[in-house]
Amino acid sequence: MFRALLQLAFLFATVLVTPWSRAQSAGAVTAADLNRQSVELTRAEPVRARQLAAEALKLAEADKDGAQQAMAHVNLGRSALLLGDYPEAIRSFQTGVVLARQQAEPVQIAVAMESLAVVLDRTGLQDQSLNLHREALTIFERANEWQRAAQVQVNLGNLYDGIGQKEESRAHYLRALATLDRIGADKGRGSIYNNLSQLDSSPEQSTQSLEMLDRAMHHYRQENNQIGLGLAWRNRATILTRLGRYGEATAAVDEAQAIADATSHRLGLSAAHEARAELLLAQVLGATPTSLSQSLLGGAGRELDSAIAIARELGEDNRIERLLRMQAEWAEMSGEPAVALDRHKQAEALEAVRERQDSEQRLVALSAQFQSERQQLDIARLGEAAARQTELLDHTRMQRNWTVVGSVLLALLLLLAGSLVHTRNRLLSAERAQNQALQSAFAQAEQARRSAEEDRRINGELLTLAAHDLHGALGMVVGAAERMLGSGQLGIDSRQQVASIANTANEISEVIGNLVAITALDRDSPALQQTRFDLIQLLDDLVQQWQGRAVGKRLRLTLDVGSIQDGPAWIVGDRIQIAEALDQLIGNAIKFSLPNRRIEVRLVLDPALARIEVHDEGPGLTDADRRRAFGRFQRLSARPTGGERSTGIGLALVKRIVDLHGGEVGFAPSTFGPGACFYIALQRPDQQTP
């Protein structure tokens, strides 16, 4: 009978301890459907798309489906972006990135990053946008998401075009085409060729630009993209006008206007009127009879009036500003100086409003980004607290269940020995009190650790934010100095002073960059982007980058890879960080070498190690230098030979990077006799083709 009662007690305990099973909710499926509908309606009906995304978010949160929550936040951000609510778009995209990271979904992470990069670019935060574009591109390429990777390349091309870096823009557009070639895809080629045609407006490149437009129109026709086709015709008319081929330009404008009328594309119609006005004004310059000139001017005036009216209807302030300036030019050619002055004033007023709005928008975006980051931090803290409370509740429930079991067992044991019950109860009480004390101590220690980590993270973010602001200010100083130097209006003394200002600003910017880099590497878990890359190619790129500085100081900088010139030297590590370490060593050799000396970068390989040596004919190292060479803020006995600034951080940064890669950094005698040799030794992977 006792055995039967014991089995009954065990069965009762099993029922109490085992949680109730629940059927899987259908909410996740519904949330996925709503998210898909939101994506389909985003461009056509952004308000409805936002409503669907909000409903999907509620269902996903109820079902605790992190993947669908992340997608819903991305869809909310896309709708907000199209509706012009940039702060809300930033908050939604950042939340999407955080949730996607929690789900360890690389493609979702990259989608959210790319969306956030687009809105940051539109709000003037190009540096942050550029970093996010690059990170998203890396993820898409690793996941073989080549169509998405091509779109990121296009976005990078647009970003570089917007900041005036035409060659970088061209390179990314060409990489996008190569990616589409790789997967045999045609979608998107028309826009890429159209963008390429607008990068160079010089007459020498006009033939190539027209060829690009021919390709663009071919793909637009294949895609039945009438809007894009109209844009290509307008661009073609502009190029032909610059070349003086007015008949062909007129035909191109007619095509663009016909497409705009057929598709009811008001913006395209305004652009067609603008192109025709530009064509007529160009013809005025070559018109001989006064009557013909007046006729052309009259036609140009009417086209400009139509273009401005449509632009005002659409609220296109940037286009209105450009058209007003054209109208001022038209008024000057028509002999109406008062009208020209009025249009210039209107254009300048619009420009001032736009600049103020851009500045306010940038500030709002920065504020939204900061608030979103703080909100995510608060959410993470609440999540951790909720997890601890849930764990404590489960523990309490378990204790309660086992207490019931213990009561049943105690009832059975009372039949056998009452004294054992009293002893067992006393031991259980003591153990419970000890567990509670240990839990309290562990909780306090964990809270202290988290608080210290948060303080360290916030300090690092503040330093990064301050460095970003200082970089921007210093960039403005350098830009102003370079414009003054290029104006040709300064005397010799003034040019020397302005050049000194520019050099000092660049040096301060370098110091700030090193401080931020070494601070980031000092964190508990620095994020190294481990990739497999060719060390020879990296060294060749760095030597080429430093050749200009070396030639300026009359130094001979060479690369020696010995007998391994016919093949790559693979290595695994963070390519950017390793490049930074090598860049510091080469830069130091140039900085401390006198003119007419040699500097040699040498690569020595064996099956297990890759050793990179930088030899110079500089002053070498003293015993004191050797003891403190890799300390922070330690300036050695040698002094820069070209007036450069020595921060005392570079070698410390090199050592930190190499330590994170498990390598070795040190110095040895230079093979040139006098001078020094600094080296970095890194572990090599198994020698296989990647």
Instruction: Identify the CA nearest to 325 among candidates 310, 313, 342.
Output: 342
pLDDT at 592: 86
Q: What's the whole-model pTM score?
A: 0.47
In angstroms, the first-to-last Cα distance of the chain is 71
Q: Give the Cα separation of 651 and 102 in Å (integer).
A: 36
- Of the listed ranges 88-92, 268-272, 449-453, the least confidently predicted one is 449-453
Beta bridge partners of 683: 609
Among the residues of 184-316, which ranges form H helices?
Answer: 189-197, 206-223, 226-242, 246-263, 266-286, 290-314
> What's the average model confidence in pLDDT over 332-345?
87
More confident of the two residues 399 and 671: 671
Per-residue tokens: 332: 């000057």
Torsion of CA 640, 643, 648, 649, to 10 degrees: -110
Residue 480 C-beta-side C-alpha neighbours within 13 Å: 10
Q: Give the Cα separation of 281 and 298 in Å (integer).
A: 10
Question: Tell me, what DSSP letter sits at residue 24?
Answer: P
As a three-state string, the secondary structure of 25-84 is CCHHHHHHHHHHHHHHHCCCCHHHHHHHHHHHHHHHHHHCCHHHHHHHHHHHHHHHHHCC
Q: Give the Cα separation of 112 and 110 in Å (integer).
A: 5
pLDDT at 253: 92
Instruction: Identify the CA nearest to 112 among candidates 85, 84, 140, 87.
Output: 140
pLDDT at 28: 43
Reported confidence tier of residue 602, pLDDT bands at 50, 70, 90: very high
Per-residue tokens: 183: 């997967």
pLDDT at 543: 94
As a three-state string, the secondary structure of 434-471 is HHHHHHHHHHHHHHHHHHHHHHHHHHHHHHHHHHHHHH
Per-residue tokens: 254: 């007619």
> What's the average model confidence in pLDDT over 415-437?
78
> What's the average model confidence in pLDDT over 278-307?
82
Mean pLDDT of the chain: 79
Does the CA dihedral 389-390-395-401 come out positive or negative? Answer: positive
More confident of the two residues 679 and 351: 679
